[in-house]
């Protein structure tokens, strides 16, 4: 859609040309599930969410603390590897399906911000 001017300027550039995207939803889901970065962010987010709601759910503080402790080195490795993938201009890898070099740079920045956020609020996340 973004690369087709006919779509944006529909009545001015002629009739809208319909395209058929077979298997689009299934392909998008598989791309997300097969990306390593999604699993790392899921572990970090789950740990932070469990740590935040430990007052409501009994028995989750150990799991939350373990997930938060594991997520910091995983996010560090993810940031380093994505930065290297950006520097090497790798077109696509297991880190992120369909990613380009600029996506790897963004992934490295988001991972680094995640590490900073977790380290900065470490006392709140570990308190129990």
pLDDT tens for each residue of 25-50: 888 888 888 888 889 888 888 887 87
List all residues 6 or more positions away from 4 whose beta carbon is below 8 Å from its beta carbon. Answer: 17
At 101-116, the pLDDT tens digits run 888 999 999 999 988 9
Whole-prediction pTM value? 0.68
Nearest residue to 74 (alpha-carbon basis) of 120, 43, 33, 35: 43
What does the alpha-carbon distance between residue 76 and residue 26 come to, in Å, rounded to a whole number?
Answer: 30
Task: Name the token pair of 47.
Answer: 């740990």
What does the alpha-carbon distance between residue 91 and residue 100 come to, in Å, rounded to a whole number?
Answer: 5
């Amino acid at each position: 859609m973004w690369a087709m001017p006919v779509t944006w300027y529909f009545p001015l550039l002629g009739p809208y040309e319909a395209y058929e995207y077979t298997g689009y939803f299934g392909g998008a889901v598989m791309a997300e599930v097969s990306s390593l970065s999604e699993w790392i962010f899921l572990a970090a987010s789950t740990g932070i969410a469990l740590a935040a709601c430990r007052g409501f759910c009994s028995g989750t503080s150990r799991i939350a603390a373990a997930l938060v402790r594991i997520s910091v080195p995983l996010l560090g490795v993810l940031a380093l590897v994505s930065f290297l993938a950006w520097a090497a201009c790798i077109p696509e890898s297991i880190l992120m399906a369909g990613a380009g070099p600029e996506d790897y740079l963004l992934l490295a920045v988001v991972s680094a911000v995640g590490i900073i956020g977790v380290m900065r609020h470490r006392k709140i996340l570990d308190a129990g």
